[in-house]
Structure 1
Amino acid sequence: MIENEYKSIKADFLPVTCSKDYRMRMFYFIAATLMYNLWRLTNLVLRDLVDADLGESPPITAGEFVELMAVFVEPQKEYG
């Protein structure tokens, strides 16, 4: 199970970088791990809130979660 979780972090949440600086790579890995944990928590909360049977698959896929996070993290443009 740990290998599958690491594979999901690497495939869905870890950004691609060419940096050889260990500090940048560690920051990206920690950020990806936090996003993975938030995704798992979100799916857990949604399963408890929804009364319908959702099956084994997560209500929100990893790709959908990353897109939602990008909307909230992206800086807003100021008009005026």
Structure 2
Amino acid sequence: MPGTPSAVTLDTLQRIADTALYAAKRSWRNGWVGVEPSAAGPGGAAIDERVQRFLADAEAAVAAGGMEVMVAPERAGSLRWG
């Protein structure tokens, strides 16, 4: 995670990883999903706030531009969050 966000504890990192893992498992076999806060959050939201939004509703946080998603290019359009 860039910077030093105060809300990103070990527990929070594990929850982010779990969210990405389960999205990959719902979407396809033998895949991966990476996530990170966007360079500039929507409405100037701080990293901590974007992370909390992602954990509350990953799909909405990604759609709003608060988090960047990384997947293999051939799978970019088929990711299912939940």
TM category (shorter chain) comes to: 0.3 to 0.5
The structure richer in helix per residue is 1
With a CA cutoff of 8 Å and minimum separation of 6, indicate the structure with the bigger relative contact order.
2
TM-score by length of 1: 0.36
TM-score by length of 2: 0.36
Q: Which has the larger radius of gyration?
A: 1
